[in-house]
Amino acid sequence: ETGVTQTPRHLVMGMTNKKSLKCEQHLGHNAMYWYKQSAKKPLELMFVYSLEERVENNSVPSRFSPECPNSSHLFLHLHTLQPEDSALYLCASSQGIADTQYFGPGTRLTVL
C-alpha cells in the first residue's frame, strides 16, 4: 500500500449505531487531518493532529471523536450521528503542519 488509505470506502449506518473510520498513511508523515466534504460546500477541516497530539478541533460536534494512536494511523469514531452528517470524509497527511497535504480517497458515509 502506498500513500494514504482509508477504510471502509463506503459506510451506511443508522442514527443509533457506533462505527469507526480508519486512515493509514505510508508516507512517514507527522501530521494527519480529518476533513468533511459535503455536496456544494467547501471541504471543512475537522481535526488536525501533529506528532499524535490534537492541535486543532474545528468546533466539531462531540458525536465525532478522533483518535491518533501513532503517527501512521488516525481514526474517527462515530456515534449517534444525524442524517446531515452524511458526506465524504477525507483523511490527509503531511510531513509537518506547514507542508503539502496528501489526501486519501475518502469514506462515503450515509446516515439513515
98 binds other proteins, rule: CB under 8 A? yes
| 78 neighbors 64 (Cβ within 8 angstroms) | yes
d(CA 40, CA 112): 20
| 93 neighbors 33 (Cβ within 8 angstroms) | yes
d(CA 16, CA 50): 31
Residue 92, all three cell numbers: 490527509
48 binds other proteins, rule: CB under 8 A? yes
Q: How far is the CB of 94 from other proteins (least distance, A)?
A: 7
50 binds other proteins, rule: CB under 8 A? yes
Binding segment (CB under 8 A) for other proteins, from list 14-22, 49-57, 64-72, 74-82: 49-57
d(CA 103, CA 33): 9
Binding segment (CB under 8 A) for other proteins, from list 11-19, 60-68, 72-80, 101-109: 101-109
Q: How far is the CB of 41 from other proteins (least distance, A)?
A: 7
Interface contacts to other proteins, rule CB under 8 A = 4, 31, 33, 40-43, 45, 48, 50, 55-56, 90, 92, 94, 96-106
